[in-house]
């Protein structure tokens, strides 16, 4: 007699993503809209760190459903509040806040500071994070506003979470965010979005430099990529690369808009690739 055996497939833990921002957060919004959809399955944005208290991305996080915990870690304010501290101390404090958020993946989505080896060493599990500073990082007295509408974010439900002290009671209901892992696995993957092709226009003002090179006949097109973060600026392994057309009639803002549209797509693709790798290794 044939018997049927029930196969129980264990559900995957929802992966936690911490996003670092400095500005409007349009790429953060792309991640929020894609989380827990086929574009970025089994994942949630669970924490946002901004280098600027006026960054509109903080408002996007607050208005997400569920609201995403946030903190502000501004370089100038940190140095003023911690006399004798230097730039590497700031990087260590950013790393401490990242670790407190218990991420599976860290995404730099318009983060405007170059992070030092000290940051990478902590997220690679090679060095311990510092103790919390004597004074907490600043919190915005009111979140910034702007006229552009905020696209609807993903509304997937999951379980409750514990969040860093900086976020408790600050950014609203977090009961639907996924639980953090019981232990942190190292290294924590970090990816960055850069508006240039691999090996071209590393560092700041990549779009402007590419536009100027096109005007002088130096290049025929530019591109955008998502890459792993390593010590060398914008030199980590490319994960997703797209060529971007530059038209003769383009103004700089035309090229910027074309690049930003592609960025919103590939930042999600890059995050999905890394999380799929983590699931295979689990």
Active site residues: 194
Q: What is the DSSP string of the chain?
A: --------PPPPPPEEEEEEESS--HHHHHHHHHBTSTTBTTEEEEEEEES-TT-THHHHHHHSSSPPPEEE--HHHHHHHSTT--HHHHHHHHHHHHHHT--SEEEESS--SPP-HHHHHHHTTSSPPPPPPSSPPP--SS----SSPPPPPP----------TTTTTTSS--TTSPPPPSS--SSPPEEEEESS-TTSS-SS-HHHHHHHHHHTTS-SEEEEEEEE--SSTT-SPEEEEEEEE--TT--HHHHHHHHHHHHHHHHHHHHHHHHHHHHHH-
């Amino acid at each position: 007699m044939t018997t049927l055996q029930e196969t129980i497939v264990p559900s995957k833990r929802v992966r936690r993503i911490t996003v670092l921002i400095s500005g409007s957060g349009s790429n953060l919004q792309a991640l929020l809209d894609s989380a827990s959809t086929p574009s970025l399955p089994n994942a949630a944005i669970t924490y946002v760190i901004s280098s600027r208290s006026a960054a509109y991305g903080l408002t996007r996080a607050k208005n997400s459903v569920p609201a995403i915990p946030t903190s502000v870690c501004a370089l100038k304010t940190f140095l003023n509040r911690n006399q004798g501290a230097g730039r590497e101390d700031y990087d260590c404090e950013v790393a401490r806040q990242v670790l407190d958020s218990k991420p599976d993946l860290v995404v730099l989505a318009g983060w405007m500071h170059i992070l030092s080896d000290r940051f990478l060493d902590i997220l690679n599990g090679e060095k311990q994070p510092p103790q919390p500073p004597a004074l907490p990082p600043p919190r915005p007295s009111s979140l910034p506003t702007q006229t552009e509408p905020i696209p609807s974010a993903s509304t997937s439900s999951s379980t409750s979470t514990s969040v860093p002290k900086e976020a408790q009671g600050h950014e609203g209901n977090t009961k639907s965010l996924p639980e953090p892992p019981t232990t942190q696995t190292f290294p924590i993957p970090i990816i960055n979005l850069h508006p240039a092709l691999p090996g071209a226009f590393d560092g700041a003002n990549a779009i402007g430099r590419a536009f100027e090179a096109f005007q002088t006949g130096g290049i025929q097109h530019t591109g955008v990529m998502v890459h792993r973060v390593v010590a060398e600026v914008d030199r980590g392994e490319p994960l997703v690369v797209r060529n971007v057309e530059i038209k003769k009639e383009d103004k700089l803002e035309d090229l910027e808009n074309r690049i930003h549209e592609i960025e919103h797509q590939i930042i999600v693709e890059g995050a999905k690739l890394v999380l799929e790798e983590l699931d295979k290794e689990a």
